[in-house]
């Protein structure tokens, strides 16, 4: 897929818009892209992000039922693991894409991989959608609207900068100036063998 970053932004925006057609955390994800393609992975990734965004809103209700809150926390934990796995899948795709590139002797590794940078773009798409929503409210004060418009401008600028930085990173990897690795996050608290609270119960 050419123009990975530009295409990713378009797909993230489409996913956010599609999610808000129902604005329901239990709505099924109707991915319009061919299964197994990077486009489909991008769409699924942002959909998971969108659902988790709204789960985080729900769990912050001060009047939420405690039992419901615990169930939501478990769901958010599962979602975090899914998000991490999807980022690693995207990095694996990029690693395979550039597997025949020979890094130069002076090649360096980046502080974050392409997929983790794209993860930030996915979250930015959600921030932009919701900040624009705040900037267009009809029930808010002018002060709130002005602050929201200012924040929206910053978010849009941030997306431009991050998009350009990812493009540069991918160009550098393709040219051998940078190289990448896929690091597994190894979330210890999700593993019954490494979370002491969980493995202690087996004794």
Which DSSP category does 177 fall into? S
Which DSSP category does 100 fall into? T
pLDDT in tens, 1-18: 446 799 999 999 999 999
Tell me what pLDDT residue 62 has: 94
pLDDT in tens, 118-165: 999 999 999 999 999 999 999 999 999 999 999 999 999 999 999 999
Tell me what pLDDT residue 185 has: 65
Q: What's the pTM?
A: 0.89
Mean pLDDT, rounded, for 162-175: 96
Asked if the model's pLDDT at residue 203 lies above 70, the reply is no
Sorted by sequence, the CB contacts under 8 Å of residue 122 that are 6+ apart come out as 8, 12, 42, 45, 46, 49
Tell me what pLDDT residue 4 has: 76
Helix (H, G, I), strand (E, B) or coil at 1: coil
């Amino acid at each position: 897929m050419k123009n990975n970053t530009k295409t990713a932004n378009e797909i993230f925006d489409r996913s956010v818009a599609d999610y808000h057609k129902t604005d329901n955390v239990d709505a099924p994800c109707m991915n319009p892209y061919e299964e197994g393609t990077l486009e489909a992975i991008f769409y699924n990734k942002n959909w998971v992000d969108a659902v988790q965004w709204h789960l985080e809103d729900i769990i912050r209700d001060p009047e939420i039922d405690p039992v419901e809150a615990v169930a939501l926390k478990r769901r958010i934990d599962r979602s975090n693991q899914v998000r991490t796995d999807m980022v690693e899948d995207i990095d694996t795709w990029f690693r395979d894409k550039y597997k025949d590139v020979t890094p130069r002797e002076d090649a360096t590794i980046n502080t974050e991989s392409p997929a983790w940078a794209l993860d930030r773009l996915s979250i930015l798409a959600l921030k932009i959608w919701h900040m624009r929503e705040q900037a267009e409210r009809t029930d808010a004060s002018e002060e709130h609207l002005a602050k929201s418009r200012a924040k929206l401008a910053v978010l849009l600028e941030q997306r431009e900068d991050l998009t350009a930085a990812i493009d540069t990173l991918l160009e550098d990897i393709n040219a051998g100036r940078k190289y990448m690795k896929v690091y597994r996050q190894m979330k210890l608290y999700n593993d019954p063998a490494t979370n002491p609270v969980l493995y202690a119960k087996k004794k």
